[in-house]
Structure formats: structure tokens, C-alpha cells
Amino acid sequence: MRIFKKLVLLNAFFLIFFISQSNANVEKIATEVVKDLPDNVILAIQPLDRKKANISMASSSGIIEKFTNEIQRALSNSSSSLIDRSKLESIMLEQEEFQNIEEFSNLIENTGADILVGLSITRTNSSSVEISARSFGVKGNLAGQVISASKTYKMDLPQSFVIKIKSIKQGQKDRKKYLSSFIDGISNFNEIEVTSQNIANHQLDYIIDINFEFDISERETEESKKAAETAKGLALFGSLTNNMIKPGKVNPLAALTQTEDNSADLKQLVFITNAEAKILKVSNNSELYSTSESETSAPINSSEGDKKKNAGKSVKDALYVLGDDVGNKITGSKSSSSSGGSLLD
């Protein structure tokens, strides 16, 4: 899917940009934290609290990976060591449930760690954060003590979010064929990456379920209203003139009053789609909702092909606008493009 590839490439670009800009600061932070540590200690690195930092899973993983490497380098000429991150994997998977040092320290007490190193990231705006680190004792005489700390540095880190579209349905019917319309709408936001279905939930920022309802109704037009009024007026006129003619006589105005009522043929069919997206924020299991509505119309006597075309356009337009609105809710900013349906034709 071209849209998917485009979003992946954009996300990769932002990640590369972030790494190139942040290497120096992460190295400084690691060096500052390590230099004041006692000898012969075992360190463990705490996963980032993404909810507090307001950063994506991809950014969080990139920062932790870089920080871990720099801590390892800083420890290379010392008697201390760093616990392999793979040993903490199961704990990291549960990180969103544990949002403070004390709780996480209890989790790692059986890993052999003496000191826990935690990064602190605070978002200052949509494109940058402030980052620092501290180390805490987790057992023995060091327990509960702040052992060392770094300075706080500013870092360029544009917001980015990884989302998975779990389902798209019309009632209970699977409607994946319309997924591209939603993705077209959400692709207005370069900071959002739509990932594949096989990505584990803990690697995501948002999970989205889409449902839409579709209906067809008849609607009066100005032409059908005028035709109905004309037919009604002629019928009334004919009735009045008939009453004025003596029995057995022919009404000379009868031909004028026998116009056929074609108002029904001048009505239009209206194709209406109402769509809703449930947006689950993975970091705290909170939910947001987004809705959209779209309608198209066609003459009531349109061919089946035209009816299907208009019905499909109604659905696609609603899903495009829904994608744009979901992007707005996730990023907190409106897209630069309009919510029109030109990409859906």
C-alpha cells in the first residue's frame, strides 16, 4: 500500500533526524550520571513513562536504546556493569502500569540491580522536549537515595505517533475495502504512522476501531415541489371547470387539466453515511471518539451504476473526513489540507 509506505518512510526520516540531533545530549547525560556512581555496582535502566513524556513508542524505544548504549560506553572502564535489557523485557512490557520509581524498584529487586537509572522527559512544545536523568539506590545502604543526576538539556523531538487500525466495519460487516479512504484522511498528519496488524499493542500509541452506518432516502427538490404544486393546481382547476359544465356537455378545458403528475421522477435519492472512530490511547487505556457525516445525491431515476457510485462516494467522503478528524484529535492540531473528498474519487 503506497500510503503505508509513505508514512513509514516519513516516520523513519523523523527518527533519523531525532537521532542525529540528540546523540550529543544523550551522551552528556549518560556521562554525567555515571561519573558520580560508586564502584562495583550493577545498574538497570528504567523504561520511559511515555504518558508523562508525551512521546510515541517509536521515540521512546529510540531514546532508551541510545541511552543504554551510552551508559554501557561510560561504564566500559569501570568495575560496574549494566543489566542486559533482555532480562528486563517482561517488566518493560508492563511499564505503563508502573509510573514511579518505587513501584519499578520493587519489580526489579530479583534482577540483581543495585542502582536504577531513570530518564525524565518533559515535552515543552510540539517539536522539542527537556531531558535529564537521575540514578536511585534500590537495595542495601543505597536504597531510596538519589545517587547522581545530570543537567537538563533541550532536545529536538517532533511529536510522532504509531497507530493501528484494528477494524473497520459497517455494523457487523467487515469493510476493509474502504480503509484506504480513512488512511488518506489521516495521512494529512506527517507525525502519524499507520502500522501493520501484527504489531503488538505495547508498541503502539493508539488503537482505532471504525464503524459506519449507511442509509438511502428520498428528498424533494425545487423541481419536484413545483411539479407537484402544478399538478395539484391543474387538478383543482379541472374539478372546478367540470362543475361549471352542464351534464352531458364536454369540458373544453379538459385537455389543459389532464397534465400528468411527474413530481416523483424529479425527486432525488440521498446517500447518507455516519461514521465513528473509537480511539484507544495505549499508554493509559483512555478513549476518545471521533464522528463524521457525509451525503451525496443523485436523480431518483439514476442507473444502478450511478447509484452505486454515489453510495460509495458517500462512504469514502465520510471516512476521509473521519481520518482527518482522528489525526486532529491525536496530534491536537488541525491538518493543513481541507477535509474535502477529492482524494476519494
The string of pLDDT tens digits covering residues 49-72 is 776 667 777 788 888 889 999 999
- pLDDT score for 342: 32
Long-range contacts of 231-237 (CB under 8 A, 24+ apart): 231/259, 231/260, 231/261, 231/262, 231/263, 232/261, 234/258, 234/259
Q: Which grid cell sits at 212?
A: 459506519
Decide: 208 and 166 in contact? Cβ < 8 Å: yes
Q: State the distance between the two ends of the chain, measured CA to CA, in whole angstroms.
A: 17
Give the residues of the chain that fall short of pLDDT 70. 1-23, 51-53, 87-110, 220-266, 334-345
The string of pLDDT tens digits covering residues 296-345 is 988 888 889 999 999 999 999 999 999 999 999 998 876 554 444 333 33
Decide: 146 and 134 in contact? Cβ < 8 Å: yes
Q: Which grid cell sits at 85?
A: 535489557
Give the domains, in start order, of the chain with CATH numbers.
Answer: 2-156 (3.40.50.10610), 162-219+267-344 (3.30.160.150), 222-264 (no CATH)
- pLDDT score for 309: 93
Rounded CA-CA distance 20/132 in Å is 18
Decide: 187 and 6 in contact? Cβ < 8 Å: yes
- pLDDT score for 4: 44
Q: Specify the amino acid at residue 73.
A: R
Rounded CA-CA distance 22/157 in Å is 8
